[in-house]
Chains A and B, each alone.
Chain A
Amino acid sequence: MTATVQITMLGGSGVGKTSLLTSMYEQFNATVGVTNLQLTPDLESSAILSDRLAELKSLLEDFEATAGQGILKTAQKRLFQFDIGQSGRRPSLSLQFVDYLGEWIDADATPEEKLQVLNLLRESRVVLVAIDAAALMEENRRWNEKINRTQQVTDLFKRAYQGVYEPRMVLLAPVKCEKYLSHEQAAAELQETIKKEYRSLLNFLASGVLKEKVAVVITPVQTVGSVIFSRIEVRNREPHFFFRKVRYDSVYSPKDSDQPLRYLLRFLLSMHYRRFGRWLLFDFLREWFGVGHYLREAIEEFARGCKESQGFEVVQGRELLSLDHQ
């Protein structure tokens, strides 16, 4: 029997949800390969993500890039399924990432579209909020609301998380953030700004029972690496973000795109250890983890690699991520 965990990618149109997913997929095999774990996408996901990867890498063909280059807008909601298992064994856990059109959280999205997103949030144990870091950081946050839709994102959470009683995890994942991770001080600034701009969301998640139930982690991912923010040019009132390579001969070199997965698995494992047995969802997890402790150990080893500095921060719910055996 296969257990399935659903994860929603959340964020405004063009912030980098699909890119984030793509680089997570690419890096997973690279990083995880050393352990005993294996991540197997289903055939369709594999084909699509390979295409996206090629597009993402094409960002490095030119010295400079702006919107319109790289990954195209996602045209329809899509599920990407990854099976995790011990190498050589039949996989027994499916991670199901839902990538939808960022437009669905726009103000002018149809009620049906909005409802779909809302339902996704309700159903998903884990949410990855992709944040366009350049839009967040540049020009005194002038473009943040327009691009990252912070307000809509917050409102969605407020509606979806009403009466939530199972533990959940929210990953705030800044992307396009190479410039702000170049040194310690900039990274701290990025963290501060996220906490400030998403204060309303964070306050909500820290209120009442949610505080105990929701883990919140900031996980910056450099989906391309070696490409940094250059400038914004406004044409017809629309901002165009320009990025350029740090050196003319730089190549595709993503960083930390394994981190969201590490946190994800850590969260799942922690749930298992903490015997939240009463909850249906985690029942089958217990079963899954119980299959063999080799797998569990492999996952635990992997999960222990979660970063907590250089821009990474567990904002709340540390106990929901604890790997202490009880």
Chain B
Amino acid sequence: MNTDGPPVAGQGGAKPPREGALASRLPRPSDEPAVSRSDQIARIIESRQPLARDIEQVQYHLLHLSEMLTALEQQRDRMVQMGEEGMSARLRDIDLAALQYKLTTELENLDRLSHRFARDTLHIGVIGRARQGKSRLLQSLSGLTSTEIPDGDRQHCTGVRSTISHNPGVAPYAEVWFYTMRGFLDEVIAPYYYQLRLGQPPDRLDEFAGKPLPALAANLSTGYAEPQAKYEHLRRYRNTLDQYYRLLSAPSPRRISPQEIRNYVAQDTPDGQRTNVTHFAVREVKVVCSFPQEDVGKIAMIDLPGLGDTGIGDQERLIATLGHEVDIILLVRMPRAAGDQWSDVDVQLYDLARAALPDLPLDQWSFLVLNRTSALSNNGDNLKNCRDLQDTLTSEGHMEVIDCLVADCANPQEVQHTVLDRVLSYLASHMTALDYRYARSCQDRLLSLQQDTHAELEKARQALGSVPSAASEFPLFQRLFRGVWDDLTGGLERLLKELDGQRTRENPVFEAHVERALEVCRTDTVLPSIEAIEIRRDRFGSYEMAYQEYLHELRTHLTRHFLALDEGLRLSTDEVKEQVAAVLVQQGRMGTLTPSRGVDFLRAMVDQMLQEYPLFCASFETLATFELSYRGFIQYRIRRTLDELTPDLTSLALSSHPSAYEVLECLCSLYHETLYKVRLALTNWLSEPNEAAFAIAEEFTDQVLRAEGAREGWERFYYEVRGEIWASEFQKFGESSMVRRQWQEAIQRVDEASRPDRFQFLRGGEEGV
């Protein structure tokens, strides 16, 4: 236990840097004693900002590295599938997953760090178990009353995190931030489902409200009090939903008057009689006021719900809050006058806080506040008990803190003098060193990550081994290429001839879809009933108007059904893509280049193999994405056949004394007549997909085989992939092979992305700390 002096320097932990960028940016309190405390705090905050920006830059670089690693990993996985045993083993040995994992962890750490450095206030977080006087302490610190910072001695009082910031000279006000529906479901409700093993968490609010809560599993529901209590808590969330769900779609922040704060923060009404669930919808409350204390500076206090509640997210949220938002922790403990000692729960709380920032020893950023109550209080006089706990802090409590302070939380003078002064002085004099230490340890880990990356890259470079010189292979390659070239051109020419022969025939796939669409139209006619016609006549005032309206409806109904032809058109064009792909795979022997087949084969070639062959790549892409659509290909051709269902164009007018029956019969006749005309029109185009198939296949062949330079292009390509195509004749991934080159490029990209300077946010002579 440290009761005096700066513990950082004294305990052989991190020493404040003598030189270096960070140190030179930060003020040195010892050099300039005349500077006020609030100025010092302001300078601390100011000096953090550039660092926050540098860290963001590094985060950005790390994300880029992560992408490059993913690309390398994908390339590796492809090669593992293709390569021979020994090589595959070497490739598998490159531990890219571990690198990615570390990278993710470090990104999270940097996130905390940059968040901390980007803040424009220093934060003092108050934690502790329920009813220890945390809120009461904050009242005394801020000069606010229980209206703004509710306290209470019934059950758990504070339900929501509230931040109380000091802003000299302003009248108190507050802002409420609500959960969004999504955030509420993901951050509040979902953790219950996972922890209580209730299955898939609800995806929508009405699902949560509408469906009964899944039953708690038997092995969780009997014997254990905790899951039961948590389950009850979740049930409360659900059963009271109607009291607060509207707030989940309310805009944030909502500015409120100090009198309203309690309603959004407290778990009960001031008299403690009724429970209040509004706070279920609240993520955070920010209170702004002017602290009574002199020379406070830009600081904020965070009042946190007492731990030990059954709220599940509480612990996670506490850790996250401490990690992101808090610079100094005040652990509040009210010793019981009736006799008290350190217990497990105290240690647990301490450990929880320690986990929030593993990079900073908790004993350098936490104070213990023992709440000394007077004889007049409910607790009675606990001075003796305070002393007991103070004495046994390390021996029995096993807790290390900067200082253990004893103060009556209900006494503003005492709190300001004993607690706030001490804390602020500590902040002013030590924060820079703490920041540095924190940043340094992150930076060190990053540098070690950088070295790990290079170690794995070295393995990657060695993985393919060396291969005999490629020059001697060339004559053999040329002979093999001539063969495959003849096969490939022959295969495509044969396919073209076959497609040419089918050009005028009906495409069976498309025909089946046309038939189906027509059949659907025939059976699903949506002709109105006599009653419906009468109703519409009454609405529009005449049968004529009703008739015209129905004509419109029938027409759009028909055309809507024809949209389904898209699927038939797609399938019919997929067929030719598959046929071409099959020739490339078989006669062109390209099957070994990717396990994908059919349309996916074409796409895989575009994505993975042909990038440096823009001409081929474009042709493959064109073929892969070729499509016929209802709108582009059919719609305009059947438009005229719909004339009879178009009010202005129809030849069938109603008679001079129409009836509902007449309307119905005319509609029925016209509908079927139109359907008939559409059928005739469509049957004229049944061979069209075949025409298109031939055209696209011919175009592909022209571009890919017959164009100038095509043969030379393919020769180069086949040479690059000779090891995969002719596995028994050539070494896999040989010299100047495509895979080897792509692998080397991927390595190169990771190498560049992991240059040491990309990891560096602390610069200059700061090493050796």
Contact = CB atoms under 8 A, between A and B. Distances in A.
B35 interface: no
B185 interface: no
Interface in A29-68: 63-64
B652 A64 contact: no
B313 interface: no
Interface string A147-186: 0000000000000000000000000000000000000000
B669 A232 contact: no
B665 A63 contact: yes
B665 A249 contact: no
A246 B666 CA distance: 10
A247 interface: yes
Interface in A70-124: none
Interface stretch (B384-392, B467-475, B653-661): B653-661
A233 B657 CA distance: 30
A231 B656 CA distance: 25
A246 B644 CA distance: 13
B674 to A, nearest CB: 9
B665 A247 contact: no
B673 A230 contact: yes
Nearest to B680: A139
B672 A248 contact: no
A187 to B, nearest CB: 17
B341 to A, nearest CB: 96
Contacts of B666: 63, 248
A249 B655 contact: yes
A248 B676 contact: no
Nearest to A229: B673
Contacts of B655: 247-249
B519 to A, nearest CB: 12
Interface string A205-236: 00000000000000000000000001111000
A12 to B, nearest CB: 23
Contacts of A230: 669, 672-673, 676
Interface residues of B, number: 18
A17 interface: no
B421 interface: no
Interface size class of A (residues with CB under 8 A): 10 to 19
B751 interface: no
A244 B653 contact: no
B654 A231 contact: no
A231 B680 CA distance: 10
Contacts of B653: 247
A249 B680 contact: no
Contacts of B675: 231
Interface in B661-682: 662, 665-666, 669, 672-673, 675-677, 680
Interface string A236-247: 000000101011
A246 B651 CA distance: 8
Given A139-B680, A232-B676, A249 B669 contact: no
A231 B652 contact: no
A63 to B, nearest CB: 4
A248 B654 contact: yes
B680 A248 contact: no
Interface string B374-391: 000000000000000000
B669 A244 contact: yes
B62 to A, nearest CB: 69
Nearest to B675: A231
B673 A248 contact: no
A248 B651 CA distance: 12
30 contacts: A63-B662, A63-B665, A63-B666, A63-B669, A64-B665, A230-B669, A230-B673, A230-B676, A231-B672, A231-B673, A231-B675, A231-B676, A232-B676, A242-B672, A244-B669, A244-B673, A246-B651, A246-B652, A247-B652, A247-B653, A247-B655, A248-B654, A248-B655, A248-B658, A248-B662, A248-B665, A248-B666, A249-B655, A249-B656, A249-B657
Interface of B: 651-658, 662, 665-666, 669, 672-673, 675-677, 680
Nearest 5 pairs of A and B residues by beta carbon: A231-B676, A249-B655, A248-B655, A63-B665, A248-B662
